[in-house]
Amino acid sequence: MNLDYFQLIDRIVDLNLDKKTITVEAQVPEKHTIFEGHFPGFPIMPGVLLTEAMAQSSGWLILGVLKFERMPFLAIVKEAKMRGFVSPGQVLTIEARLEHEGSGFAVTKAKGRIGKDMKCSAEITFGLAPFPDPTFRTHMDAMAHKIGFPLQAIAQ
């Protein structure tokens, strides 16, 4: 995770476009200023960042399913549940499944766990739009490479 740049996904572990699922991992930093205030003496990952990590994981899945032809933008978070604490140094595994894609929207269900223990879950809706700018698309291509997005999975 690189919290300063809001990059919450370190690597894609599995992307299955036939089943419309993705699994990613994110190493929570051992030290970061965010833990100084959340909470002193008891540092835990903020729920809003766990939700964002699930949204980013879902976004990479949608990008793959759509073959990078449209960009997902967060629209709605439903049923977000924080089920336990995520602490500095832990490896967060997030799994997401695409439930619906059509009419300009996509819906996923995502869950995050540490080992076998579920820590968070949510249903997330995204608006789908063309990439807003060629520079942004270039940035997304570079990020895909950095986190190990299997580009052969979307090659035609």
Point out the residues that are catalytic.
38
Q: CA-to-CA distance for 121 and 83, rounded, in angstroms? A: 8
**Helix and strand tally (H, E) in the chain?**
3, 6
Q: Around Cβ 4, how many Cβ atoms within 10 Å?
A: 10
Q: How far apart are CA 22 and CA 117, in angstroms?
A: 18
Strand-pairing partners, residue 120, are: 82, 112
Q: Considering Cα of 133, then 67, then 8, then 45, what sign does the dihedral take?
A: positive
